[in-house]
Chain A
């Protein structure tokens, strides 16, 4: 086995490779390295690892962000939320504007935990908002993450209310009678697991994710099959 430089010297070599070792120690060490193949190899290892990571990072071209993240990015940039405003935003904005104070909306949202039925304003907004878009609901923001169809045919939508709601994704499914009811989302199903997972990208195991076109058709006809 080849010997390793002693730990203190080894750290200095790494700092030299990372160009954070002060002169004159850096110069001394370079001279030492020139005379010692073991040190030279170790220095090369540090330099090469950094170079590999930097080069790979320069090559990295990520695909466009998830719809939900893209919507968030547009919003942060000060652009209109989601795509340019459409009439439906006004439609449910009017529906929810009447008397929806932040605390009321939050209390209503909380009350859904007992009965399972969503607050009407939340349900209306949830039914009308495409995935990846966010709308203002009182003082909260509703961000719709995705839509799914369960094996039994029911439709479900994942969303998040912030900042007043839970940081976790919520899920609601529409009943045959046309009511949106809260349903355990992955985060709630297994406490502690998936705490920060947004469910938009992950269909429930017993269902399938709806694509944009299917979702648009369902929004247009009020989620009736």
Chain B
């Protein structure tokens, strides 16, 4: 018999999560400044990757718009940073991204597959070049200054968003809502015929996932203190969440979290050790991950796990 079925795993998992959360919440007290900054970057990528997976994971619509939503949040922070208090700025950053997502979602309803991919990536480039042109020709500047709040504050804000996004992702996955999203991914026509309100569901989820990307952007802007369009709408921020999700494995909620954490650490490690070869090595790892890890790290560990435990219990 399977051991996990006899003894419930739930208390252990909850306890483990609680311990991790306590460790994370107290880490600025004992960890070095470098660790806190690194953890903030990891949190940012986890937020981007998990919120990307909320929409694109179950539905199968590959969105390359994260950089657009992130950038919208960054610019909200730059525009409102000196006017509103920080929590309000972050919420406004999220909301402006959500509004953008609602418009984009409503426009791209008819697009599927590769056309949706191209449209969302076109959106990033369009916003980048438009804001670039606007800043140079209308405002007369290229960059903007954002009020700073200090590393520890940024860390806690990012941690809060992280906890909320994981909670929301978990709730969506467990609810009828998540089931309906899954059915869209399997077969959209069939989902519509069984009574799923396909259009409304897709747009809402797209906007929800954009909210957290925008909020993450608004927070990160306060750490960077100086921003310009090329930093805010960096196309790499569109590709990295996709790769991190694939690298981690999208079958389970913790897949994207692990993928983003390992990938960000790897990036940091490569930049410090091999500054000249870092992007090259990065590209090679990407290709290898796509070739040899179709189910991601989580899929690989599950396969190994099943092989070990399955053999012991006579299960193939």
Are A and B associated in one complex?
Answer: no
Chain A residues at the B interface, C-beta cutoff of 8 Å: none
